[in-house]
Structures are given as C-alpha cells and as structure tokens.
C-alpha cells in the first residue's frame, strides 16, 4: 500500500517538473520573439557605416549612385547619410558630402531632414548652399518656391548658392529669373553664380537636344521630296565601274 500510495505523488512531481520546464521554454521563446525585433530594429552593421564613410571621403572623387547603392540596404544607407548630414560633430567634408549624396535618395526622410537642416539656426553658408542644391537636384520643381526666398538672403554667399541651386530645376521660369539677377544683383559673386546657372541651363538644353537627335540615328530617313518612297531604286554599281581596256583599244 505504501508503494502504491507513493506512485501518484511521484507522477504528480514528475508532471509538475515537466510542466515547469515546458512553461519556462515557452516563455523563453516568446521573449526572444518579442525582444529580438526590438533589439535588432534600427541596428546598422558597422561595416556598412564604414563603407559609406570611405566612399564619401575617397580621394578618387565623389562616388556615383551605383557605388553608394552597393554599400548595403538602401534604407540603411539613406539613414546613415541623413545622420551624417545632421551631425554637427562630424568632419565638415564628410558632412557636406553626405548632404550631396542624399540626392541619390529622393525619399520622404531625405526631404524632411534637408528641410529641417535648411531652416535650423547655426548652419554655415557652406551647409546651406549644399542643402539648397541637393534639394533642387533631388526634388526638382517642387523646390522652386522653397529656394526662391534665398535669392534675397542678406548673405551674398547664400544668394549665390541659391542661384546655382535653382538652375538645377528644369523649369521655364528659371532662365528669366537668372537673367534678371544678372541685371539687378549688386554683388559680383552672385552675378557670377547666375552666369554659372545659365551655363547649367544651356548644357541641359544641349543634352536634351542631343537625346532627341540620336533617336533617329538608327532609322532610315525618308526623302520628303520623293513621291515614290515605297520604291527604292538601287544604283547599278556595274554601270559605274570603269571598263578595262580591250586589246583592240591598246595602241599598236
């Protein structure tokens, strides 16, 4: 009887231990499922950051879009660049190049960060110039009225930066705006920037014209003066070939 009575107690003890072990395992799994995304959210591999930094500081020149995009996930790269652009403790060259590289990422995050920095106090003229141009190159005509007031800034350096930046916008109003700036602006620095902006417009027009012309390079153009364009008469090459002299034609 004692042996039989002890058996249920042992079973209860074993079942209790197993339940506790199973419960602990379930809690551990649930905790890991909840905690892991929270811990990993926002983490960017250090190698990714180093790759972006190395590209921005490369002595070989400013990186291309393809080079920047190959460093890692695009969302992470966009975040690295916005953090660098907003980091006042970062190297000045690194910070300005990060602002410039943001034109490769026309995202809402890029626009928010650049607009916030543009109107932040304490920004140097060099930073404002870089931000204005990056906004123009990234978001185009939407930035026209955002950049326009900076053409009347009290700092000639910022007015000059705004003149070059607004030239990056493909809009019919820009040319007359820069021409007027050449006539009314008292500072030579700003007038030179307006001339540079006009050169940017001219180069863009030439590039656009070149693209239009190259569309017809691989096509057979039809002579509009001919009425029988469907009939092509090939020249007889044998008729144009010079005749060899015959023995009878040679002088005796």
pLDDT in tens, 96-111: 999 999 999 999 999 9
Percent of the chain with pLDDT strictly greater than 70? 67
Q: SS3 of 70, please? A: coil
Q: What whole-number percentage of the chain has pLDDT above 90?
A: 63
Q: b/e string for 46-60 if b means 16 or more Cβ within 10 A?
A: eebbebbbebbeeee
Query: What number of other Cβ atoms are within 10 A of residue 154's Cβ?
Result: 6
pLDDT score, position 29: 42
pLDDT over threshold 80, residue 17: no
3-state secondary structure of 57: coil
Q: For position 137, what pLDDT does the model report? A: 96
Residue 242 binned pLDDT confidence (cut-offs 50, 70, 90): low
Domains of the chain, earliest start first: 45-122 (no CATH), 124-214 (1.25.10)
pLDDT of residue 251: 55
Alpha helices by DSSP H, listed for 87-155, are 92-101, 108-118, 125-139, 144-147
**Residue 210: predicted pLDDT:** 81
C-alpha 169 chain-centroid distance: 15
**What's the pLDDT at 110?**
97
Q: What is the mean pLDDT of the chain?
A: 79
Distance CA 97, CA 162 (A): 18
Higher-confidence residue of 123 and 78: namely: 78
| Interatomic CA distance for residues 93 and 132, integer angstroms | 17
Q: Give the pLDDT confidence score for residue 243 in this predicted structure.
A: 57
In this prediction, residue 22 has a pLDDT band, given cuts at 50, 70 and 90, of low
pLDDT digits (tens, 9 = 90+) for 137-189: 999 999 999 999 999 999 999 999 999 999 999 999 999 999 999 999 999 99
Looking at residue 229, its pLDDT comes to 38
- What confidence score (pLDDT) does residue 154 get? 95
- pLDDT tens column, 198-218: 999 999 999 988 865 544 444
> Where does residue 140 rank: exposed (0-12), middle (13-18), buried (19+ CB within 10 A)?
middle
pLDDT tier for residue 53 given thresholds of 50, 70 and 90: very high
Statement: residue 74 has pLDDT above 80: yes
Give the pair of three-digit tokens for residue 213: 């012309």
- At residue 36, the pLDDT reads 40
Give the separation between CA 226 and CA 88, rounded to whole angstroms.
Answer: 70
């Amino acid at each position: 009887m004692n042996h039989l009575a002890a058996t249920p107690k042992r079973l209860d003890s074993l079942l209790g231990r197993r339940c506790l072990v199973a419960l602990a395992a379930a809690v551990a799994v649930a905790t890991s499922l909840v905690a892991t995304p929270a811990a990993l959210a926002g983490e960017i591999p250090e190698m990714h950051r180093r790759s972006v930094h190395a590209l921005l500081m490369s002595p070989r020149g400013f990186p291309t879009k393809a080079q920047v995009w190959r460093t890692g996930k695009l969302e992470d790269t966009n975040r690295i660049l916005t953090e660098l652009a907003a980091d006042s403790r970062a190297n000045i060259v690194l910070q300005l190049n990060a602002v410039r590289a943001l034109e490769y990422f026309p995202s809402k995050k890029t626009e928010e960060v650049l607009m916030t920095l543009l109107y932040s106090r304490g920004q140097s003229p060099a930073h404002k110039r870089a931000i204005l141009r990056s906004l123009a190159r990234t978001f185009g005509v939407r930035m026209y009225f955002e950049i326009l007031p900076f053409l009347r800034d009290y700092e000639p350096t910022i007015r000059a930066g705004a003149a070059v930046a607004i030239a990056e916008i493909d809009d019919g109003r820009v040319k007359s705006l820069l021409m007027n700036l050449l006539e009314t602006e008292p500072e030579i620095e700003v007038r030179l920037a307006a001339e540079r902006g006009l050169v940017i417009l001219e180069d863009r027009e030439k590039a656009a014209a070149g693209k239009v012309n190259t569309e017809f390079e691989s096509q057979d153009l039809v002579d509009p003066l001919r009425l029988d364009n469907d009939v092509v008469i090939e020249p007889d090459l044998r008729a144009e070939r010079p005749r060899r002299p015959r023995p009878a034609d040679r002088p005796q």
